[in-house]
Amino acid sequence: MSGAGAPTLTVDGTGLKVVVIAASWHTVVMDGLLAGALRALAAAHVDDVTVVRVPGTFELPVAAQVAAENGADAVVALGVVIRGGTPHFDFVCQGATLGLTDVGVRTGVPVGFGVLTCDNEEQALDRAGLEGSHEDKGTEAAEAAVATVVALRALRPAPSRVSA
């Protein structure tokens, strides 16, 4: 199982602004991923959450870029791509992965990667955080995004205080 060895993240996201961007394909899977992300953000005390739906997984990077440029402390990107009989799967997966990585590196805003890349619908459902699923990748992506914001605070200098 791919979730073996995953860390348990307990984070406090009080005061953070998080944008969750969710693709629209594969409604049942996406609804599970989104519900998991929202549960994780609520558990982390993140009150400022905006959910944006985009057509598909390929559109996640551009939406993440705009969110990062407009004040999001973290972005959670959720999508699912199921392998078909053409190379389309490879192009979408690579474009989304490289695009989301690029957004995080260029902006310094953490992007939680909740994109499922599965061979079939059964694998996607098993990772969607639904009743009977073995994994909850929406929760994991949200926890990772918030935990990374907290970790980066230790690397960034505190704002200087000027005394009058």
Axis-axis angle for helices 27-43, 137-153 (nearest 10): 40
Contact 18, 52 (CB under 8 A): no
Contact 129, 141 (CB under 8 A): no
Axis-axis angle for helices 60-69, 88-107 (nearest 10): 10
Active-site choice (26, 45, 88, 134) = 88
CA angle 31, 138, 98 (to 5 degrees): 110
Residue 124: left if φ>0, alpha if ψ -120 to 50, beta else—which one?
alpha
Q: Token pair of 85, please?
A: 């009989």
Residue 134: active-site member: no
What are the catalytic residues? 88
